[in-house]
Amino acid sequence: MSVVSIDPWSGQVQYRYEYMGAAEIEARLHAAQRAARAWARTPLEERAALLRRVGGLLRARREALATLIGQEMGKLRREALAEIDKCALACEYYAEHGWRYLEPSPVATEAKKSFVAYQPLGCVFAIMPWNFPFWQVFRFLAPALVAGNVALLKHAVNVPRCADAIGALMAEAGAPEGVLGILHIDNAQAASVIADPRVAAVTLTGSERAGRSVAATAGQNLKKCVLELGGSDAFIVLADADLDAAVATAVASRYGNAGQTCIAAKRFIVVDAVADEFAARFVAAAARLEPGDPADACSTLAPMARGDLADSLHVQVQKSVLAGARRVLGATGDAGSTRFPATVLDGVAPGMPAYDEELFGPVASILRVRDPEEAVRVANDSPYGLGASLWSADRELAERLALGLEAGAVFVNTVVRSDVRLPFGGIKRSGYGRELAEHGIREFVNIKSIWID
């Protein structure tokens, strides 16, 4: 089947390619199986050295790679450059610290010696999204490789050249054949790869629909699976919050990457005492965003990645307005256009898509509450549980409220982000399992107990 990659800003076809046939898929599975044995036996120092070389190449090629990201999914250039830098940092971090997470852990028992060893599983099959076409890959790849696993990558269909660029970087850095295999395949072919006995585990970052499908196939085949799915992150603003910092962070979080970020702030839950002021400042700041060509340094709002995604978001906005939400910023976009304006909905309440669903694009929802306790209740009144941000000058109160929020991460007085030093992942319909830090690297190892009498 022929597939095209379209520049979201210009609408021009950038690239055409074909899905792989059975023979190509088999060749990559065979190469991964062959490489897995040798890579697991490769000294950790050599695996770490490969990651350092990859990190260096990412930094050396950052300008060209950022251009590629902009052409394939429309990210603003400065955001694309920051994404490449973050990938390099992840490679360097695991090259330096990975051994600490993989060292055998002694356990005091009545045995002469007892400890826990961490050994690679084999081949990890990764199904990755388009919104961070390099970072999402390296977020799993760096820890997986340093742990001694090999990987197969099925990337999103609209970022094929980003996938190939990652493969080329790995090869240039000296990765043995089969340590990373790129698969340009459809969903049915991906299900067959999951089921293949040469694949030990699966990791997916993507939609809830994709998560259900991948989890079902992995479960049928008794494969370890990590899912990082959608989010509808709460951004809670209490009466004593620093509004200057909160508004600036709120706008950056909601509209960065054209709002196409799983951990972007999406539901702005503000106590009544400061709701009017927060809303006025937020709307004014959002109105200053300048849509434009992602390659232009003056652009401050990127296009959405695809026209169909923008159309779906428009439907969610229209349904929310019909249900009583007030659109205080943003105009109706043209059907099929990726140029979705910065939009703000106020008066959002249960029963509206803006309350109940994830809005994956540049639309903010403002929800007004009486007090901190209601703020937490409303934040938790969501099927998602990825991240949350909470703003208050009272750190003791903020910590107590943070512990009551149903999310995989809570950031107080700052933006939610994935940090290589901290575990990342969600609960409820945001998925399960963790990436990054020691928790992420240990998702794809055999945690083996050794008892010696």
Q: Is 262 a catalytic residue?
A: yes
CA distance 227 to 120: 19
What b/e readout covers 228-239, taking b as 16+ CB neighbours within 10 angstroms? bbbbbbbbbbbe
Amino acid code (one letter) for 199 = V
Per DSSP, the three-state class of 376 is: helix
Helix (H, G, I), strand (E, B) or coil at 398: helix
From the candidates 83, 92, 228, 358, give the one annotated as an active-site residue.
Answer: 228
* CB burial of residue 21 (10 Å; 0-12, 13-18, 19+): exposed
- For 392, what's the count of Cα atoms within 13 Å in the CB-facing half-sphere? 21
How far is it, in rounded angstroms, from Cα 310 to Cα 449?
A: 50
User: Which token pair is 275?
Assistant: 């709701």
On whether the CB atoms of residues 262 and 418 are closer than 8 A, the answer is no
Active-site residue flag, 396: no
Q: Are strands 113-120 and 445-452 parallel, antiparallel or unpaired?
A: antiparallel
Distance in angstroms (rounded) separating the CA atoms of residues 268 and 366: 5
Amino acid identity, residue 167?
G
2 beta partners: 18
Out of 72, 162, 262, 435, which one is annotated catalytic? 262
Contact 149, 125 (CB under 8 A): no
Greatest CA separation found in the chain?
73
How far is it, in rounded angstroms, from Cα 185 to Cα 128? 12
Nearest-5° Cα angle at 86, 83 to 90: 140
CB under 8 Å to 131, separation ≥6 — which residues? Answer: 73, 257, 260, 261, 262, 305
What amino acid positions are annotated as catalytic residues? 228, 262
